[in-house]
Amino acid sequence: MQLMRYCLSPNKLAWLRQELGEHADELLAAMDAAGSKYLSGLAESQAGDLSAPDSQLKFQWFQQKLALTTRLTDTELANLAPLSLVGMRVELVTHDTLTATLLQLSTESVLGFDTETRASFEPGIQHPLSLVQLATSDSCYLFQQAMLGERLAELKPMLENEQILKVGIGLRGDGQALKRDWNIQVSPRLDLNWAMAQLGAGKEMGTRQLVAALLHKRIDKPKKITLSNWQQVPLSQAQIQYAALDALAANLCFWQLIDKLQGFYGKTTVGNKPLLPPSLAARLANYFHPA
């Protein structure tokens, strides 16, 4: 349990580390251990407030939210195994494969979604959208504008298909770029940053923290690749891997979030107060298994 790190603001954590240096993490660990021991004893005690089934469920929900929304340190992130594309299919879509790929993806209920745009280093210069990435749970397809040209517009029916949820992390800019350049209104879409905010995350967690919290993996975001030329043909293998991992991570994180919330969906406490925030439960209702 990481209760103290969750409760302390980033400024307070920074102050604590400045004052105590290498001993700060030891203090946090000791405080968390003491809190966990107290709560565990309370839950097991017949006289404790957490002994009733209703209270135990609330406590389990508290633990789950805490685990999902507590940010890892850079050291903890570095110690995680990297998210890998091993066993996954990655395809750079061509003119010859575009129609068949879109037909195949149209059968999916959820797609991981991301885009890339060539970075601009000149004031007032904005490059058009370069790449759209769409991922299932085991495959990722890259649609590069430099290769497909005007045929990129053929993504419009699928990206606007109300039966296919497009899931991503920090989607505002992606949606704006597609609307601006291709008059495509991506819908429906779910930003996982928004979902985590409903669970109590104090600020946007971002891809690295979400992958760590939900998949217990590390995803690297080297600026050399982030700021590279996404219009170049062919894309480098490093670019392809980076782009595919982003979309795949969104898909995998979504289904892992569903799995972690499944046991609390539809559950209420005293007074019929739902555990899951109603706004989040409504958005995810179609993806939970029936009880």
pLDDT tens readout for residues 70-103: 888 888 999 999 999 999 999 999 999 999 999 9
User: Between β-strands 165-168 and 110-117, what pairing exists: parallel, antiparallel or unpaired?
Assistant: parallel
Is the pLDDT higher at 271 or at 261?
261
The predicted structure's pLDDT at residue 125: 76
Number of separate helices (H) and strands (E) present in the chain: 14, 8
81: exposed, middle or buried (C-beta count within 10 Å: 0-12, 13-18, 19+)?
exposed
The predicted structure's pLDDT at residue 47: 43
266 CB-near residues (< 8 Å, 6+ apart): 274, 281, 288, 291
Query: Residue written as tokens 């770029």?
Result: 177
pLDDT band, residue 272 (cuts 50/70/90): confident
- Number of residues in the chain: 291
Residues of the chain with CATH 3.30.420.10: 89-258
Among residues 75, 80, 63, 65, the alpha carbon closest in space to that of 1 is found at 63
107 CB-near residues (< 8 Å, 6+ apart): none
Helix (H) or strand (E) holding 110: strand 110-117
Q: Summarize pLDDT for 158-190 with one digit per residue, the tens.
A: 999 999 999 999 999 999 999 999 999 999 999
Taking residues 9-20, report their average pLDDT: 63
| Percent of the chain with pLDDT strictly greater than 90 | 67
Q: Tokens in use for 84?
A: 């890998």
Q: Which CATH number fits domain 89-258: 3.30.1050.10, 3.90.600.10, 3.40.50.300, 3.30.420.10?
A: 3.30.420.10
Backbone angles phi, psi at 252, to 5 degrees: -65, -40
Is the pLDDT higher at 202 or at 186?
186
Taking residues 259-273, report their average pLDDT: 90
Separation CA 151–CA 178 (nearest Å): 14
